[in-house]
Amino acid sequence: MIQQHKSFKEQFQYQTGGWKYSALVRFLLFLALWLLLYFSFAGKLIPERYDIQLNVASEKTIWAPEPLENEKATLKAQDEAAESVDPVETFVSLTNENLVQGLYDKLEQLNADTQVTFDDKVNIYRRELPQKREEFINAFLRSGATTSIHSESLLAEVKKGITEQEYRFPEDAFFKLPRLSNEDLEAMRPVTVDVVNEIMKDERPDAQAARAQVAEIVNTSNLTKNTQRKMVQEIARFVITPNVFFDKQATEEARAQARENTPAVMILKGEELVKKGEVITKEKYELLNEAGLLRDKVNYMPQVGLILLVTLMVLLLVMYIMQRSPTLTENNSRLAMLVLIYFLNIMAMKLVSIGQTPEFPLAYLAPVALGSMLITLLLDIPLAFLSSVLFSLAASIIFNTGYEVIFDFRIGFVSLLVCFSAIFALHKASQRSTILKAGVMVCLVGAASVTALNLLSDEYNLRSMLQSISLMIGSGLLTAVLVIGLMPFFEVSFGILSALKLVELSNPNHPLLRKLLTETPGTYHHSVMVGNLSEAAAESIGANGLLCRVGSFYHDIGKTKRPSYFIENQSNIENPHDLIDPKLSKSIIIAHARDGVEMLKDHKIPRPIWEIAEQHHGTTLLKYFYHKARKMLEDEGKDPGEIKEEDFRYFGPKAQSKEAAIVGIADCVEAAVRSLRNPTVDQIESMVQKIIKNRLDDHQFNECDLTLKELDKIAITLKETLLGIFHSRIEYPEDLTKSVKKGEA
């Protein structure tokens, strides 16, 4: 009944009571973050409006609030760029060697035919050689049109170019061709192919110039007969065609691309549009109107853009928190802390930006990594990485003094590097001095990044570079000091248990741990052993191993109120439970969890620690006293059914986190294995599996997000760790023991 009442109360509080669980408060916190970003960026991104009249002198100087395109100048530049593009000529491979092979096939066939007279052969060659070349060209054009490899306009140019540069076979050559023997043709064929390939492999817009090289190449061949060389030259010249042609479509595409690639002629951000006292002409008025600077025609687009920008940034953060950081949506306290960190980080940047000028890069002094370091230490490392991206974007807007773009990529780049380096330096931080080391890392990475940017700049200046490096060093040290100073505030105000705080709580000189050691040494030793087991198990599934270890140190602190009633502290004394009623024993045992929570709260121990102390037993059954009570009723002749299980169960609640569940398993496993005189490997493995299965069957893991796969990993890790702890007491198998005694092993 007590457990049911508590669950109802907790459910009621979650739904109706307290700002920590209110959906409205959560919405207001995200709205506050949205407003923070909006007003932080508004001064940089939303231009001022002016009351300007046509043909009236301006009362003040007006600068361009953002880059503006000069459309007339842009069109002129595009036309000039298109006109400057030379006509595009495309290389077209006609595979002329195939025509060579076809001609030689015809020569060998006809010359070998003795029934055809010499004169007929001459006439056939005079008629069919040009025809074969024409068929070859037409076949290529049809293939190109069918496969769409080349455009129609290019194929038309190919046909035109080949026709215009056609080579006519000399008349006397027609009389020499029939006299060529098969041996002559066999010797001439490869030479002709080589000559054609050698010439046609290069771009040949002028076929006549290419044909002029034929004689020189043929004369270096291995042909010995003059007739062979002469005919090879004629056949090669006949086959050679131009292979580079004007490509109209490609030329038009290149000119269109040149137009697209021509940058718009811009009036730069910050460039003077109107001087004070200058008369506003129609051209100036239209320019001011396009820039949205006229009060009578307000341009709402910058506001809309800024709203979209800030909404996207906040929405990105909201989606990440909902999917990957459910603790922030379940507890508005942590969400409020996150919003406060954003506020502090952005306000620090805004304060530094007051003195920012293009000549003096004061932006490098801003503690941009402040928020990333605090989120890493207090909340979540992946969330810190996402926030680093948002902080870098904010810095690139807030510190932008350039005239070309909204974001200053240099500031954003440096900010992102120092934020990431700070997160890496703080990974698994265990001491406060780690914060100072992270500050030094920010100094080094920041100095290196600004040095790189300065060296890459066309306006490289040694003095400016040294100035930037000095500011980055100051930024790293300032960030470390601010984080060290703010950490206690966040830990106390929001009850956050950081890794640094956990290490401090694990100090054996802590009053509660000293009390545990001096008053209940058995429990202290048990707690240390549970800490070793739970830490290893937690790390095997990616849970917080350090929290498990420190939580284990304190999980049984309630036993210090009645130490002699717990077996690990009963050294050489009689067990007092043998003399009292099982129900009273049950009350004493169960009370240690509630007493421990009260003691931890009194000593201001953070919530996650006392939650482990409260939840490590869940609602498990005290089986020993339950069965003892039933047996006593049986011995008295009464119905043992009067004893109900729920009366001998811990009040709970069940484990709400992986860490609490792991500590509970490790607590039970350590006590069970310690009860064995000489534990063997099989006994340890069986004991671990049995304890986890009993808790699983008892539904003790229903309220935490442990999976069956993770439970298997926990069981394996606990077994391996226990084998390391109890290795000296594990019995050898019988045959191995005999070998050891004989000195064989």
In order, the DSSP letters of 467-520 are HHHHHHHHHHHHHHHHHHHHHHHHHHHH----HHHHHHHT-TTSHHHHHHHHH-
| Lowest-pLDDT choice from 564-573, 681-690, 731-740 | 731-740
pLDDT-derived band at 298, boundaries 50, 70, 90:
low
Mean pLDDT across the chain, nearest whole number? 83
Q: Collapsing DSSP states into helix, strand and coil, what is residue 245?
A: strand
Q: Percent of the chain beyond pLDDT 70?
A: 88
Is it the case that residue 418 has pLDDT exceeding 90?
Answer: yes
Rounded average pLDDT over 308-325: 89
Q: Sorting pLDDT into bands at 50, 70 and 90, what band is 739?
A: very low
Measured from the Cβ of residue 633, the count of other Cβ atoms closer than 10 Å reads 14
Please state which of the ranges 150-159, 441-450, 549-558 shows the lowest mean pLDDT. Answer: 150-159
Sequence-distant (6+) residues with CB within 8 A of 572 are none
Instruction: Name the band, by pLDDT with cuts 50, 70 and 90, for residue 536.
Output: very high
Beta-carbon contacts of residue 707 (< 8 Å; ≥ 6 apart): none
- Given a cut of 50, whether residue 84 has pLDDT beyond it is yes
Question: For tokens 């043992």, what's the residue?
Answer: 640
Least confident of 381-385, 403-407, 544-548: 403-407
pTM of the model: 0.56
Residue 537 scores a pLDDT above 50 = yes
Per-residue pLDDT at 22: 80
- Percent of the chain at pLDDT > 90 equals 23
Q: Average pLDDT of 265-280?
A: 75
pLDDT at 15 over 90: no
Dist CA 552 CA 718 (whole Å): 15
For residues 379 and 629, give the distance between their C-alpha atoms in angstroms, rounded to a whole number.
47
pLDDT band at 18 (very low <50, low <70, confident <90, very high): low
Tell me if 700 sits within 8 A of 620, measured CB to CB: yes
- Give yes or no for residue 222 having a pLDDT over 70: yes
The answer to whether residue 744 scores a pLDDT higher than 70 is: no
Which residue segments constitute the domains of the chain, with CATH numbers given?
Answer: 2-43+300-496 (1.10.1760.20), 89-246 (no CATH), 501-742 (1.10.3210.10)
Give the model's confidence band at 653: pLDDT under 50 very low, under 70 low, under 90 confident, else very high: very high
Spatial distance between the Cα atoms of 466 and 525, rounded to a whole number of angstroms: 57
Whether the pLDDT of residue 471 is over 80: the answer is yes
Q: Which range has the worst mean pLDDT, 79-93, 448-462, 721-735?
A: 721-735
3-state secondary structure of 649: strand
Which among 671, 723, 661 has a CA at the least distance from the CA of 526?
A: 671
Q: Are 415 and 445 in contact (CB under 8 A)?
A: no
If pLDDT is split at 50, 70 and 90, which confidence band does 726 have? low
Q: How far apart are CA 67 and CA 404, in angstroms?
A: 6
Most confident of 277-291, 500-514, 628-642: 500-514
Closest residue by Cα to residue 591 from 599, 602, 581: 599
What is the reported pLDDT for 5?
A: 40
- d(CA 683, CA 443) in angstroms, rounded, equals 55
* pLDDT at res. 172: 86
Going by pLDDT thresholds of 50, 70 and 90, the confidence category of residue 735 is very low
**pLDDT-based confidence at 402, cuts 50/70/90?**
low
Cβ atoms < 10 Å from Cβ of 694: 14
> Who wins on pLDDT, 488 or 402?
488
pLDDT digits (tens, 9 = 90+) for 332-379: 888 898 999 999 999 999 998 887 665 666 888 889 999 999 998 888
CA atoms within 13 A on the CB side of 190: 6
Residue 399 has pLDDT above 70, yes or no: yes
